[in-house]
Amino acid sequence: MLEGFAEYYSANLSENVKRGNYESALDCKTLGVKLFGYRKAPDGKYEIDPETAPAVRYAFEEYAKGTAPSDIVQELNSRGYRTLRGGLFNKNSVAQMVRNEKYAGVYIYKDLIRVENGIPALVDRETFDKCQKRLAENRRSPKSRAGCAVGKYILTGKLFCGKCGSTMISGTGTSKTGRKYGYYQCSNAQYHQCDKRRVKKDWIETIILDKLRELVCNDEFIALVADKAIAYQDGAMNAQRKTVTAELDRRRKEAVKARDNIIRAIESGMISDALRERYKALDEEIISLEAAIKDYVHEYPKFTKEQIIGFFRCFRNALTDDTENTERLNEQLLDTFLNSAFLYDDGRLVICFNYSGPGNKITITELEEAIDDFFETADCRHSSGVGESSSDSCFSLPDRDNTNSTIIFIGMVVAMIVQTK
């Protein structure tokens, strides 16, 4: 019994802590998270630190202009700035800084709360967006050691090793004829911690793009994904929206009640500057909360199945008709639909994308467990034609390239299993 009470107390304490953090996050409190360029204000929120804020502004402005990260690092260190841990700045710390949306005034708590203007902005949105564009270009256009660009590596950050689960990074090589070529290799291979074979850049990018095009052009698959997306929208997403709006409405009602009490006190003759200030603060809080409720409801509009299918078809029409912008459309195809891809040495390729936002990632362990469980209970590995199996988690595409392409749904993630050789 004592063990049971202890376990209950521990679980209850954990829930209380989470609830307290959640309520504090709705107030845009720091929750003990330090952020370079800011300090904790007396009310527990972020306020600009006049000593370190200039370093943040300098890093964003220079990076947006195209200044090399190494030059930015050198300047910050020479001015005497140090990281929150007291160390010297490096390229990674600058990269993390310029991709942090909090500096543009957005307060973020996990995947639950996002408040525009919840933090005093150190950079304007235009500068922040310029930095994000440059970050994306740098990810897609790495250079060889000789400094010669070999083209965009469009799978950077999305292609993973099927052996260890680590990201596959870009690299360049030179053939016997002196021609440069690109490839992807496991990031652990450079430390001799994984023996996954590297693969040619053009080969793997072509396969993944072709398979994604197959999906976008398959009406039955689009309808199936649309059903899944509507189910998610009506379930988990709607529950999250109700939880947040209910909490905001609870706080609004408390503020209204407190304001009404002050009105009654004033009517009874209790008039003071403190009461007037408190009334004004409560009135502003009520207006802010009502606006937050309205914004949160409108931030997540509900889509119909027809709208989702229409989006797919518009994208498909663009892929089919606009041949002049193939490169740009390919990048949009990957950015829009591809969550991750896992490549194995036996030729298996598992392409994943989700229909519920960027928060739903899948690890290689979760992926392999789900695939093993699925094939133990469903015999759709070698099914032919287009259609669903007896299980609503399986879907097979036409066997066009002598490959079996099977679709399974893993939670909020769609996994396409392809045998490339």
How does pLDDT run across 383-408, given as a tens digit for each residue? 433 333 334 444 544 444 444 677 77
What is the mean predicted confidence (pLDDT) over 372-390? 50
What is the mean predicted confidence (pLDDT) over 254-258? 90
128 pLDDT tier (thresholds 50, 70, 90): very high
The overall longest dimension of the chain from CA atoms, in Å, is 95
pLDDT of residue 357: 57
pLDDT at residue 20 above 70? no
288-292 contact pairs (CB < 8 A, 24+): 289/248, 289/249, 289/251, 289/252, 289/255, 290/252, 292/115, 292/248
Among candidate residues 277, 293, 283, the one with its CA nearest the CA of residue 258: 283
What is the mean predicted confidence (pLDDT) over 241-269? 84
Indicate the range of 38-42, 78-82, 274-278 predicted with least confidence: 274-278
Among candidate residues 408, 27, 93, the one with its CA nearest the CA of residue 225: 408
Contact 302, 233 (CB under 8 A): yes
pLDDT of residue 58: 94
The tokens for 69 are: 């990260």
pLDDT of residue 47: 93
What is the mean predicted confidence (pLDDT) over 96-125? 87
Instruction: Give how far Cα 362 sits from Cα of 213, 215, 408, Å.
Output: 22, 20, 13
299 pLDDT tier (thresholds 50, 70, 90): low
Place of tokens 């490839």: 183
| Interatomic CA distance for residues 109 and 123, integer angstroms | 20
| Interatomic CA distance for residues 359 and 293, integer angstroms | 23
pTM: 0.52
CB-neighbour burial class of residue 140 (10 A; exposed 0-12, middle 13-18, buried 19+): middle
More confident residue, 360 or 66: 66
Q: What is the mean pLDDT of the chain?
A: 78
